[in-house]
Amino acid sequence: MATVLIAIDESPFAENAFKWYVQNFHKPANKVILLHVIENLGIQDMKQKYTDLAKAKGVESVDIQIKTSDKPEHSIVDLAEKLKVTYIVSGSRGMGVIRRTILGSTSDFILHHAHCPVLICKSG
């Protein structure tokens, strides 16, 4: 039995990857884990706001703890390793080489950092 982690979101690329997996790769004995990681945009602004507010009110020692991820690619790789998945399936936005080099990509990170084989499904 293989354990397969499929990274999902609301994009057509993720849906394409899921459909491709089901049609071409799925075995009845496989355990399938669908993972959606929510990016926390604005977290740094919130942290700064409360740090400034605390200092303005005379609170000098502030430790702000946030237990979420703003880097889905790290969460995907970490969870895959923790759960000892056999494969990871992810969609690709189809960025060009230059854009991917400058901005990076979730699928590229997963491909190069996962402990297991990774299947990247291009759209179309």
pLDDT for 5-22, tens place per residue? 999 888 888 999 999 999
Q: How far is CA 83 from the centre of its chain?
A: 15
CA distances from 50 to 40, 42, 47, 55, 64 (A): 16, 13, 5, 8, 9
Pairing of strands 118-121, 3-7: unpaired
Q: What is the CATH number of the domain that holds 79?
A: 3.40.50.620
The amino acid at residue 48 is Q
User: Domain tally for the chain?
Assistant: 1
CA distance 16 to 14: 5
Taking only the tens place, the pLDDT of each residue in 49-72 is 988 988 898 877 665 654 467 788
pLDDT at 96: 61
Instruction: Using pLDDT thresholds of 50, 70 and 90, give the confidence band for residue 103.
Output: very low
47 in a structural domain: no
Total-model pTM: 0.57
Show the domain range for 14. Answer: 3-40+70-121
